[in-house]
Homo-oligomer: A and B are copies of this chain.
Amino acid sequence: MAEVVHMIDSEVFLAFSTYATIVILKMMLMSLVTSYYRLTKQVFANMEDTTLVKTTEDRKKLVRIDPDVERVRRCHQNDLENIVPFVVIGLLYSLTGPDLSSALLHFRVFVGSRFIHTVTYVMALPQPSRGLSFGVGLLATMSMAYRVLTTVFFL
């Protein structure tokens, strides 16, 4: 990394940048999965989108709700609700100068839990698999938030 970043080119910050980018890319992938399902199952949210597929059906009937599409969308929404807090708190946490090993543990547990969460959600695996992966990710973020608050506290 170039001169600009001398102060934040610690290994912790490099690790944060890597894990944050990977988990954000995973979240962005959900958009493409949704599009794939919409196109292959011919299920759309907007009338104008129905022209994207060839069909003999009445196009108005393609603007509908489909359980598989809704499942992927809920998974995407859950990503937004959890990955955004991880990125914000993980960035601040990285700036508090934690041990590299502690930081890696937090990042790996969080990112791993979100990949497992996606698999359990999209494949509709039996609970509590999804609940646990959600909870583990939440705890990783909260543990980092605890360190941020105890280190920087200034109200």
Is the beta-carbon distance between A8 and B4 smaller than 8 angstroms?
yes
Chain B residue contacts of A24, Cβ below 8 A: 85, 88-89, 145
Chain B residue contacts of A152, Cβ below 8 A: 1, 14, 17-18
Chain B residue contacts of A88, Cβ below 8 A: 20-21, 24, 87
Q: A4–B99 Cα gap in the complex (Å)?
A: 12
CB < 8 Å neighbour of A31 from B1, B94, B138, B148: B138
User: How many whole Å from A83's CB to the nearest CB in chain B?
Assistant: 9
Counted per complex, copies of this chain come to: 3
Interface size on A, residues (CB 8 A): 68
Q: A21–B1 Cα gap in the complex (Å)?
A: 24
Chain A 109-147: CB-based contact to B (< 8 A → 1; otherwise 0): 000000000000000111110110010001001100100
> When A11-B154, A81-B31, A154-B11 are in contact, do A149 and B96 touch as well, CB less than 8 Å?
no
Is the beta-carbon distance between B89 and A148 smaller than 8 angstroms?
no
Q: A128–B48 Cα gap in the complex (Å)?
A: 9
Determine if A102 is an interface residue (Cβ-Cβ < 8 Å): no
Would you mind naming 7 contact pairs between A and B with Cβ atoms under 8 Å apart?
A1-B152, A5-B95, A28-B85, A28-B138, A47-B124, A51-B127, A80-B84
